[in-house]
Amino acid sequence: MIDPILEMRRVSKSFFSIKALRGVDLTVYPGEIHALMGENGAGKSTLMKILSGAYRPDPGGEIRIEGKPVHFNGPHAGRAAGISIIYQELSLAPNLSVAQNIYLGREVSRFGVLAREAMEAGVGPILERLGADFAPSTLVAGLSMGQRQLVEIARALHARSKILIMDEPTTALSAGESERLFGLIRRLRAEGLAIIYISHRMDEVYALGDRVTVLRDGTLVGSLDKPEIRADTIVRLMVGRDVSSFYKKEHDPSAVHGAPVLAAVDIADGRRVKGCSLTVHAGEVVGLAGLVGAGRTELAHLIIGAAAKTAGHVEIEGHSVDIGTPGEALEAGIAYLTEDRKALGLFLDMSCLDNINLAVLGRDARLGGILDRDKARDRARKAFAALGIRAADIRVAAGSLSGGNQQKVLLSRLLATTPKVLILDEPTRGVDVGAKSEIYSIIDNLAKAGTAVLVISSDLPEIIGICDRVIVMRAGLIAGEIKRTATAPLDQEQIMALATGMEQLDA
């Protein structure tokens, strides 16, 4: 029997009167990928910051590395003990070379001058081992996100780490970069490295995890070995309820009739989108599915005027509308939730109050252009109550909120415009399981109220769980459509067959 490389026993952490962790145990073995899951606020980051030396635990607990008790008085002590952590927001200096980043804080110098050639020679074998396609002398600013991940991993290996903590490592990676990262993680596991992998994505946990530990509200609620790792079990542990209540679907798609609220007719951009048509009716949730690169987001951008059309037009309630900008789309009744809420949606340094009211400032302005702050505060408070936004106050910065609450703030801004059509692009990307369920409930309530909802998602269980009808794109074209009926539910295999072209091979 292999001895554990890490044992955390009865670890607790308090921040003043708030108990963030309550007697948590965690055991990790060499050559193991141990997934750590839980909703935002469950205590995952706090536990890992204690392990890396960034936080000190409350008295009474114990941490052992290779059987020996350890006490860290800072991150340097954690690194000296063989623990490296790669945060979701990478901590590289873009103006420095790859070698300089790897040696950062441990630079090699001769006669007071940086020995760049020596550092580059020192990291060369590690980059080669990782299969890196860039040189030690390359500036980090010129690297892709996937390549930057490699630099972070190379830094951990160069420091002779025994335990590598990875916090949502695929958030900013493409599908291809993610697959390459998975292959590298498996190789590191085979070499005996212990990897603690934090992720909200079930498919990643299935693909990589040897064991899963789940936290909820600062407590350990369960650990699962490989044969026990199932979506329903993990969801039940994370949110404290059965997976059957995960997708709320109370709106009645059978009541949908008449002309569509939104019609895109033969839309094309001359490059990615090649003549696509779709419709969405009032009170209907339509899914837009397809593989990455199929053209889903590009089609949405053409509909809202974020990109220029070379052909086709958009109709609202049967009337053709000329939309050249997202602002004109909002005026026509189409609101769009971007897939990148941090870069393209929210103003992270601004308050939730201001973010929510941003799209309706002109509507609230009184004589002379003076803003009606009372109306804005009332709208923000109602949005907090209606969407269940969890924050200390409407005046806190949006960037301080969890991913799920940020998404709900952005949704509140769009809903303040009372749109006829709501286009949601990857609405639950980067949010935890509990927040996903709440967002599904919001979508269902919007459909019940008569809003036409178009959902773009790469998560097929999500598409199947919340949509009445699914339009599938492949290579810039509409490949087909599948409709839910009383006798025939939506089928994941049918969607994938259309998305990949397999239905043509079977014909």
pLDDT digits (tens, 9 = 90+) for 30-60: 999 999 988 767 888 899 999 999 999 999 9
Selected from 3.30.413.10, 1.10.3720.10, 3.30.70.1560, 3.40.50.300, the CATH number assigned to the domain covering 6-242 reads 3.40.50.300
- 187, 224, 191: which is closest to 206 by C-alpha? 224
Closest CA to 267 of 319, 303, 312: 312
- State the Cα–Cα distance between residues 357 and 410, nearest whole angstrom: 10
Rounded-to-integer distance, Cα 308 and Cα 198, Å = 39
Contact 104, 135 (CB under 8 A): no
User: For 34, left (φ over 0), alpha (ψ -120 to 50), or beta?
Assistant: beta
What's the CA gap between 230 and 236, in Å, rounded?
10
Beta strands per DSSP E along 176-256: 194-198, 211-216, 219-225
Q: Do domains 6-242 and 253-333+419-506 have the same CATH topology?
A: yes
pLDDT for position 505: 41
* Residue 477 near residue 274 (C-beta atoms within 8 A): yes
Query: pLDDT tens-digit profile of 7-16?
Result: 999 999 998 7
Contact 83, 163 (CB under 8 A): yes
The 3 state secondary structure assigned to 67-110 is CEECCCCCHHHHHHCCEEEECCCCCCCCCCEHHHHHCCCCCCEE
Q: State the Cα–Cα distance between residues 211 and 227, nearest whole angstrom.
A: 9
Q: What is the pLDDT of residue 129?
A: 85
Question: Domain 253-333+419-506 is in which class?
Answer: alpha beta
The confidence band for 330, taking pLDDT boundaries of 50, 70 and 90, is very high
Mean pLDDT of 148-164: 89
423, 336 in Cβ contact below 8 A? yes
Q: How confident is the model at residue 507 (pLDDT cuts 50, 70, 90)?
A: very low
**Alpha carbon separation from 221 to 25, 28, 33 (Å, rounded):** 10, 17, 19
> Contact at 8 Å (CB) between 499 and 476?
no
Give 403-428 pLDDT, tens digit per residue: 788 889 999 999 999 999 999 999 88
3-state secondary structure of 470: strand
What percent of the chain is modeled with pLDDT above 70? 94
> What is the average per-residue pLDDT within 70-97?
88
- Residue-wise pLDDT tens digits, 271-308: 999 999 999 999 999 999 987 778 999 999 999 999 99
pLDDT of residue 179: 86
Q: Domain map of the chain by residue range?
A: 6-242, 253-333+419-506
Apex 449 CA angle, 444 and 452, nearest 5: 75
Written as one letter, the residue type at 404 is G
Two structure tokens written together for 136:
């030690």
Residue-level pLDDT at 432: 73
Which amino acid, 299?
Answer: L
What is the predicted pLDDT for the residue at 402? 81
Average model confidence (pLDDT) across the chain = 87
Q: In the structure, what pLDDT confidence band is assigned to residue 180 with cuts at 50, 70 and 90?
A: confident
Residue with the bigger pLDDT between 345 and 301: it is: 301
DSSP 244: G
What is the pLDDT, as a whole number, of residue 370? 67
Stretch (H or E) spanning 132: none
Residues 6+ apart with CB under 8 A from 260: 279, 280, 281, 315, 318, 452
Phi, psi of 11 (to 5 degrees): -80, 125
| Whether 436 contacts 424, CB under 8 Å | no
Of 83-87, 210-214, 356-360, 386-390, the range with the highest mean pLDDT is 210-214
- Phi/psi at 221 (nearest 5 deg)? -110, -10
Q: Per-residue pLDDT averaged across 195-200, rounded? A: 90
Q: Please say whether the beta carbons of 234 and 202 come within 8 A.
A: yes
Lowest mean pLDDT among 86-100, 105-119, 187-201, 308-322: 105-119
Q: To the nearest whole percent, how much of the chain has pLDDT over 90? A: 47
Q: Which residue has the higher pLDDT, 364 or 448?
A: 448
Q: Distance between CA atoms of 323 and 336, rounded to whole angstroms?
A: 13
Q: Is there a contact between 377 and 371 (Cβ–Cβ < 8 Å)?
A: no
The C-alpha angle 459, 462, 464, rounded to 5 degrees, equals 110
| CB distance 38 to 24 below 8 Å | no
| Residue 158 or 253, more confident | 158
pLDDT, average across residues 124-138: 89
pLDDT confidence band for 504 (50 / 70 / 90): very low
Q: What is the pLDDT of residues 431-477, one digit of tens each?
A: 777 778 888 989 999 999 999 999 999 888 889 889 999 999 998 99
Assess whether pLDDT exceeds 70 at residue 27.
yes
Q: Which residues pair with 166 in a beta bridge?
A: 86, 197
pLDDT digits (tens, 9 = 90+) for 219-271: 999 999 988 888 778 877 876 755 556 677 788 877 777 789 999 999 999 99
At 24, which helix (H) or strand (E)?
strand 18-28
Q: Which residue has the higher pLDDT, 89 or 249?
A: 249
Whether the predicted pLDDT of 430 surpasses 50: yes
Tokens representing 466 are 């919340």
pLDDT at 147 over 50: yes
Residue 118 in tokens: 């020596």
